[in-house]
Amino acid sequence: MGKKTFKILWLYSVLLGTVLLPRDVLAGSTQLDFRVTIRIEIKTCDVNDNQAIEVDFGDMIIKNIDGVAYEQPIDYTLDCDDATNSTPLKLRFENNSGANFNANLLRTSEPNLGLRVKQDGYPFAFNNWVYFTYGNQPELSVVPVARGSAGIDDGPFTASALLTVEYE
């Protein structure tokens, strides 16, 4: 290959390379700094300062446990991030299984005793959301219910359910 052929081949390569270069390279390269910041906020509500809610029924007379006597309030507090009195919220009690004798009652450690949870005086349906605003939280209460004429052992009993509050 002679010098003339080499020069033509070189010139052809330069011209072909120039045609194939992107437009911005031909015009001069510009560097852009592109920055994206994403902030994900999860607003939360703390129920009772993340402490267990305890209800003390005091001393009960077994024969007087009728689903009305011994009703006690469920005292709880809510602290929701950036909430105002009109902020919509939802609340539910999660209870995987009801009492042995009634699925609508909270199961206790005493097989013949259940607890009816109430919201504003009416029976509360477990695992269902109740909608309210931050400034008007539901009044919750609980009342012991005996299983008919079945015997209840004297002594302490326990029950548990998960109270969840979320932004609507």
Mean pLDDT across the chain, nearest whole number? 83
pTM of the model: 0.72
Q: What is the band of 4 on the pLDDT scale with cuts at 50, 70, 90?
A: very low
What share of the chain has pLDDT > 70, as a percent? Answer: 75
Q: How many helices (H) and strands (E) does the chain have?
A: 2, 11
More confident position, 99 or 42:
99
Secondary structure class of 77 (helix, strand, coil)? coil
Quote the pLDDT of residue 76.
95
Q: Is the pLDDT higher at 43 or at 132?
A: 132
Looking at residue 5, its pLDDT comes to: 40
In angstroms, the CA 138 to CA 135 distance is 10
DSSP conformational letter for 67: S
Question: Which amino acid, 127?
Answer: N
How is the chain split into domains, by residue range? Answer: 45-167
Q: What topology is assigned to 45-167 in CATH?
A: Immunoglobulin-like (2.60.40)
Give the span between the Cα atoms of 163 and 10, in whole angstroms.
79
Q: Express each pLDDT in 45-75 by its tens digit.
A: 999 999 999 999 999 999 999 999 999 999 9
Question: Residue 23 — very low, low, confident or very high, per pLDDT cuts 50/70/90?
Answer: low
Instruction: Give the chain's largest Cα–Cα span.
Output: 118
User: Residue 97: what pLDDT?
Assistant: 81
**CA gap 53, 117 in Å, rounded:** 13
User: Which pLDDT score, from 0 to 100, does residue 92 have?
Assistant: 94
Arithmetic mean of pLDDT, 79-102: 91
